[in-house]
């Protein structure tokens, strides 16, 4: 039987069938508005409940949509009525009813119920309105069901899918670096130590160094994996565990690297605007903002950024770091991302190649998102010369012994190569105008949150 025939067959069985009859097609709640006049079977969780005289209004959600069902005491049997009386928020219910148009219903349609049953009543749900953010985080295993979080997770899934699509279309391959390592990629101060039998290991801060080894086997690779950083920061853009997309490319210089990044960001902005329009609108993000994102993005050198900040009255001098506050000032008025390039060598990671035009700086770029959001991507051309790498490691007091394997790859057929890391939650924070990146991950990990 074809899928269409099977669906029609199953639908035909609903008419006259009771809730206990096995063979019924389930209707998704985002499809209900297309089924006016039809009798349908739905299952889901109670989202809200209201009572008026002899009518119970039960809003049901199934992850795809939310629809109001109306149970009228004089139109259903006693058990259906009693079930609709007893349910709590988040009880699981199933029902059969006819879809009717009703302007008063939140979606303009509702289900006039013929039969209603509680499948799982559970306990009274502990989340009500006006609970504090901390309390909601304490019970994230339940608050993860909130619409705002679920919608952010859907956007993130789309972002990840679109990034993969973009890179796969360019013949990148996805690789999996180890998460248990012996050395740091992004500086020792943010390493998480774990006991590894009789040794100490560290959780991965980035897969980059391993990708640099693999690009000598195949030139275009990317990693989509968690990064662990023992960041003591309590900012809305730092977590101790976040998901990073890290492409690494052989034979790419820094200009090619930035071009790839801006083309990818343009692509994913347009994909999200086209495929997740209604979710973006719920976050008060006009999809047109994302459709307007257009490569190439402006490039501002660090030196120029320092001058711009000084002009705005900020006390800062060449050599100081540009952090969250400064990035906010630089991007507040922008509607397109911008690259902040050529930062001072002493502030940057040991693997970043020196800028031949100004050896005080490196060939790096952070992509700053507009609207005051700031860094979403950090990237650079990597050092490919063995001796330059040794000198830089010495300058940064790194123990060469911990990096022997990494140094080794610079002895055998090393080529110019570049790459970048994009924090997926930071991108979603920008696109969905989230106050904090914690809402772009189901179970955030921060300095003071390891539970649930």
> Which residues contact ligand ATP by CB under 6 A?
186, 229, 231, 238-239, 242, 244, 375-378, 421-423, 425-426, 437
Phi-psi category of residue 359: left, alpha or beta, with phi > 0 → left and psi -120 to 50 → alpha:
alpha
Nearer to ligand ATP (CB atom), residue 45 or residue 242: 242
Minimum distance of ligand ATP from residue 286's CB (angstroms): 23
* DSSP conformation letters of 227-248: EE------STT--SEEEEEEEE
β strands within 304-399, DSSP E: 338-341, 364-369, 374-381
83 close to 93: Cβ distance less than 8 angstroms = yes
Distance CA 136, CA 449 (A): 12
Cβ-proximal residues to 190 (8 Å cutoff; 6+ apart), any chain = 205, 229, 230, 231
CB-neighbour burial class of residue 308 (10 A; exposed 0-12, middle 13-18, buried 19+): middle
Site of tokens 């990818």: 264
Phi-psi category of residue 213: left, alpha or beta, with phi > 0 → left and psi -120 to 50 → alpha:
alpha
| 242 to 133, 144, 226, 422, 448: CA distances (angstroms) | 20, 17, 5, 10, 15
Minimum distance of ligand ATP from residue 134's CB (angstroms): 19
Report the candidate in 30, 31, 11 with the shortest Cα–Cα distance to residue 21: 11
Q: By Cβ distance, which residue is nearest to ligand ATP?
A: 378
Nearer to ligand ATP (CB atom), residue 252 or residue 430: 430
Cα-Cα end-to-end distance for the chain: 46
Q: Which tokens go with 433?
A: 């105008």
379 close to 421: Cβ distance less than 8 angstroms = yes
Minimum distance of ligand ATP from residue 11's CB (angstroms): 47
Distance CA 213, CA 217 (A): 8
């Amino acid at each position: 039987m074809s899928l269409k025939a099977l669906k029609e067959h199953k639908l035909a069985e609903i008419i006259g069938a009771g809730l206990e009859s096995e063979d019924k097609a389930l209707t998704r709640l985002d499809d209900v508005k297309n089924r006016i006049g039809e009798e349908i079977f739905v299952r889901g969780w109670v989202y809200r409940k209201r009572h008026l005289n002899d009518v119970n209004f039960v809003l049901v959600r199934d992850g795809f949509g939310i629809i109001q069902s109306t149970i009228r005491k004089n139109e259903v049997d006693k058990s259906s009525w009693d079930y609709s009386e007893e349910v709590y928020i988040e009880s699981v219910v199933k029902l059969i009813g006819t879809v009717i148009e009703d302007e008063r219903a939140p979606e303009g349609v509702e289900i006039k119920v013929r039969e209603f049953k509680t499948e799982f009543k559970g306990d009274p749900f502990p989340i009500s309105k006006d609970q504090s953010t901390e309390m909601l985080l304490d019970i994230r295993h339940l608050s993860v069901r909130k619409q705002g979080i679920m919608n952010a997770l859907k956007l993130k899934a789309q972002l990840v899918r679109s990034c993969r699509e973009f890179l796969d279309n360019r013949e990148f391959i996805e690789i999996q670096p180890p998460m248990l390592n012996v050395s740091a990629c992004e500086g020792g101060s943010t390493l998480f130590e774990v006991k590894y039998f009789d040794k100490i290991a560290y959780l991965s801060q980035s897969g980059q160094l391993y990708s640099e080894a693999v690009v000598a086997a195949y030139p275009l690779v990317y990693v989509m994996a968690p990064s662990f950083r023992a960041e003591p920061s309590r900012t809305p853009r730092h977590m101790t565990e976040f998901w990073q997309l890290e492409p690494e490319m052989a034979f790419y210089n820094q200009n090619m690297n930035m071009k790839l990044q801006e083309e990818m960001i343009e692509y994913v902005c347009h994909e999200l605007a086209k495929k997740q329009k209604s979710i973006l609108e719920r976050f008060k993000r006009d999809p047109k903002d994302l459709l307007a994102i257009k490569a190439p993005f402006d490039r501002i050198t660090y030196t120029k950024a320092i001058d711009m900040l000084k002009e705005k009255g900020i006390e800062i001098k060449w050599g100081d770091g540009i952090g969250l506050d400064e990035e906010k000032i630089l991007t507040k008025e922008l509607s397109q991302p911008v690259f902040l390039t050529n930062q001072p060598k002493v502030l940057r990671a040991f693997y970043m190649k020196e800028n031949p035009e100004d050896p005080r700086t490196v060939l790096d770029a952070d992509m700053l998102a507009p609207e005051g959001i700031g860094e979403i991507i950090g990237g650079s051309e990597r050092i490919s010369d063995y001796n330059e790498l040794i000198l830089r490691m010495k300058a940064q007091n790194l123990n060469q012994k911990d990096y022997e394997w990494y140094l080794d790859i610079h002895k055998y057929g090393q080529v110019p190569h570049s790459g970048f890391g994009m924090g997926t939650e930071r991108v979603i924070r920008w696109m969905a105008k989230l106050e904090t990146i914690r809402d772009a991950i189901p179970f955030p990990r921060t300095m003071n949150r390891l539970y649930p």
